[in-house]
Amino acid sequence: MAGGFGATTGGTEFEAKITPLVIISCIMAASGGLMFGYDIGISGGVTSMPDFLKEFFPTVYKNQQNPTLSGNYCKYDNQGLQMFTSSLYLAALIATFFASYTTKALGRKVTMLIAGILFLVGTSFNAAAINLAMLIIGRLLLGCGVGFANQAIPLFLSEVAPTRIRGALNILFQLNITIGILVANLINYGTSKLTTGYGWRISLGLAGVPALLLTIGSLIVVDTPSSLIERGKLEQGKAVLRRIRGVNNVEPEYLEIVEANRAAAEIKNPFQNLLKRRNRPTLVIAMMMQIFQQFTGINAIMFYAPVLFQTLGFKSDASLYSAVITGLVNVLSTVVSVVLVDKAGRRMLLIEAGLQMFLSQMGVAIIMGLKVKDFTNNLGHGLGILVLILVCSFVASFAWSWGPLGWLIPSETFAVEARSAGQSIAVFTNMLFTFVIAQAFLSMLCHMKASIFVFFSAWVLVMTLFTIFLIPETKNIPLDEMTERVWKQHWYWKRFMDDYEDEPMGKGQV
Ligand code: BGC
């Protein structure tokens, strides 16, 4: 997940080469993102597989085989089934707090190792599950892994990467999430074809591959200079800085890290600091962006696409390959974002996507409302394809806007002394609302039927208005000029900048 990364622009450029250690870091970013994406994508396919349902959710299995029992919209309305998906996010949000302690006290490397081990154990529980308890314990362990990984990996990367590739690494992480989701969709498609009855075990077990990569990776890498210096290992920190930068003269960067750590140590309570008036705009925007990101309804599709397509009357096979198509659109559209984000700007992408998401969801709501009733389904082939196209249009617009920008904007707007605490709050808020959607969507679908998509499109309307009035453009603005050029100029947020005058020592930005 997008855990959000450090600076994307601005900051001093120190002498640095792309050393093997930096390359290993990219691989770690890849495995962390893949792992998270894989977990997002795998559950929906697995929960639509008859063999899996028969074993763990026999009532849902009966409904699936005989829709006259529960009606089209309520086939999958089961708290346990939703718990299978959502428990991961609940564990992740609780783990985030422990992880913020271990990242500080034990370092990034150890925290990543803990994440890798949790992933491995969780995967084993899932693949070997013989009852629902084992399945949920496995998901909880994976969730703890996500909490630890998402706290440590972004920090690790932003501290290891030379400034000029930091932004690219940020999007790389999001891109890898989408690739992880796609791989999971493809694997589900493949394993659903197995007649052995344990295809779902292979789907869940293959999460062990990125988990192993992360575990081995974290054994190989060294801890970051920042983390070593933070824990008083100054000489070791300097030596590591030389190794990762591949140059001898690291004194200027070393002194800056020491100074940054000294300043950070002065802030006794980072969360209280976050509540200062001048941090209000960034805090509100970071939290609202997470809530909005989840209320686009994206994870209704990412978690439950195969289930949703079955609700629409697609056969099991067609549902799984439709999920593959939406997964592919997700990856490709994230690449569009990489290309456009610094050219078209953040606001432009968010506003365009708002319109596109609104129209696509309303289209789905109208077609479903007219054609798919509780006990009848007149969708037909042509309209079925139209719904798939509309879902793809929705996913595409999400993937070049709220997907990556939901993480990028908070990471580039928090003042340096508020960044780390701010990121934890952003991750926490995201996990909380991801949990809410995962736990509620299938029940909401059962009760609200097609109008669930009207519900999400109403949210899209609200977030687009929020963007128009309250999210400033941060394209090409160096981090250290954010206060002067962005916040102090904004029609609404400028009123929160007055405490800079009251407290001149409070340097807001880098
Ligand atoms: C969101 C996830 C979502 C993913 C889809 C991320 O930015 O945080 O909740 O599943 O995008 O690609």
> According to the model, what pLDDT value does residue 500 have?
65
Q: How confident is the model at residue 305 (pLDDT cuts 50, 70, 90)?
A: confident
Q: How confident is the model at residue 93 (pLDDT cuts 50, 70, 90)?
A: very high
Cα distance between residue 338 and residue 167, in whole Å: 10
CA distances from 493 to 170, 478, 486, 498, 503 (A): 26, 19, 9, 10, 18
| pTM passes above 0.75 | yes
Phi-psi region of 197 (alpha: psi -120 to 50; beta: other; left: phi over 0): left
Residue 506 has pLDDT above 60, yes or no: no
Query: What tens digit of pLDDT does each residue of 266-289 get?
Result: 888 888 889 999 999 999 999 999
Q: How confident is the model at residue 166 (pLDDT cuts 50, 70, 90)?
A: low
Query: What tens digit of pLDDT does each residue of 58-69 get?
Result: 999 998 888 788
Q: Residue 2: CB within 6 Å of ligand 1?
A: yes
CA distances from 210 to 125, 176, 284, 405 (A): 16, 11, 34, 25
Cα–ligand 1 centroid distance for 429 (angstroms): 13
> According to the model, what pLDDT value does residue 68 have?
80
DSSP alpha helix (H) spans, 231-269: 234-245, 251-266
Nearest C-alpha to atom 10 of ligand 1 is from which residue? 299
> According to the model, what pLDDT value does residue 12 have?
58
Nearest C-alpha to atom 4 of ligand 1 is from which residue? 403
Mean pLDDT is lowest, of 103-107, 132-136, 137-141, 180-184, for 103-107
Query: What tens digit of pLDDT does each residue of 473-492 get?
Result: 988 887 778 888 999 999 99
Nearest C-alpha to atom 6 of ligand 1 is from which residue? 403
Residue 472 has pLDDT above 60, yes or no: yes
> According to the model, what pLDDT value does residue 408 have?
85
**Which atom of ligand 1 lies closest to the CA of 181?**
12
Average pLDDT over residues 166-171: 69
Q: How confident is the model at residue 3 (pLDDT cuts 50, 70, 90)?
A: very low
Cα distance between residue 387 and residue 155, in whole Å: 40
Q: Residue 406: CB within 6 Å of ligand 1?
A: yes
Average pLDDT over residues 237-258: 88
**Which atom of ligand 1 lies closest to the CA of 406?**
7
Q: 3-state SS of the chain: helix, strand, coil percent to 5?
A: 80, 0, 20
Cα–ligand 1 centroid distance for 1 (angstroms): 7
CB 330 within 8 A of CB 182: yes
**Which atom of ligand 1 lies closest to the CA of 434?**
9
Cα–ligand 1 centroid distance for 407 (angstroms): 10
Q: How confident is the model at residue 435 (pLDDT cuts 50, 70, 90)?
A: very high
Query: What tens digit of pLDDT does each residue of 325-342 get?
Result: 999 999 999 999 888 888
Cα–ligand 1 centroid distance for 434 (angstroms): 9
Q: Which residues does 79 contact at the CB level (< 8 Å), separation at least 6?
A: 439, 443
Average pLDDT over residues 406-422: 82
